[in-house]
């Protein structure tokens, strides 16, 4: 989360410096658009995933589950988390393959008569996804313990 916030702050400073340079000195910073879209925005969008998974801050709609008993909701949430882990595993695998391909190709953007390497930012996606998977697996394990406790409490009553 902090890395994503730092990227957002750096992006604001960079864009502000570009705008100031363009309007005050009639000399914009070269490559601002490429750096913002290729690095800052990627970090801002993907790095907070692990924090979101850790704090269970995903968007959720409870219209159909408002009346579901708590012990069933725990199991339903575990199924959803395991499904999310499966999806994010595929995402990590595919983005990692793409990052390696782009690294071998030396992916770069032409910026002001020179080239800026873009391939390093490709590794942010599989990194963010892998961290998210770790937190989701930990949450599934914790939820499983809660579900067992709830089932044993229900059986004792």
- Of residues 156 and 6, the one with the higher pLDDT is 6
Q: Tell me: the pLDDT tens digits for 115-130?
A: 999 999 999 999 999 9
Q: Please give the pLDDT value at position 157.
A: 44
Q: Tell me: the pLDDT tens digits for 3-13?
A: 999 999 999 99
Q: Tell me: the pLDDT tens digits for 91-113?
A: 999 999 999 999 999 999 998 88
Separation between Cα atoms, residue 149 and residue 142, nearest integer Å? 11
- Residue 154's pLDDT band (boundaries 50, 70, 90)? low
**Is the entire prediction scored with pTM above 0.75?**
yes
- Of residues 70 and 30, the one with the higher pLDDT is 30
Q: Please give the pLDDT value at position 88.
A: 97
Mean pLDDT of the chain: 90
């Amino acid at each position: 989360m902090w890395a994503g916030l730092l990227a957002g702050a750096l992006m604001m400073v960079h864009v502000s410096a570009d705008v100031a340079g363009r309007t005050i000195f009639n000399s914009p910073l070269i490559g601002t658009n490429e750096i913002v879209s290729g690095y800052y925005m990627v970090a801002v969008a993907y790095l907070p995933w692990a924090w979101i998974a850790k704090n269970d801050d995903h968007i959720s709609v409870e219209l159909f589950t408002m009346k579901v008993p708590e012990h069933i909701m725990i199991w339903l949430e575990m199924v959803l988390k395991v499904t999310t882990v499966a999806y994010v595993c595929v995402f990590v695998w595919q983005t990692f393959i793409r990052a390696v391909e782009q690294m071998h190709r030396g992916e770069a953007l032409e910026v002001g008569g020179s080239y800026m390497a873009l391939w390093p930012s490709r590794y942010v996606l599989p990194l963010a996804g892998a961290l998210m998977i770790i937190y989701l697996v930990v949450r599934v394990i914790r939820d499983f313990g809660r579900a067992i406790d709830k089932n044993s409490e229900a059986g004792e009553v």
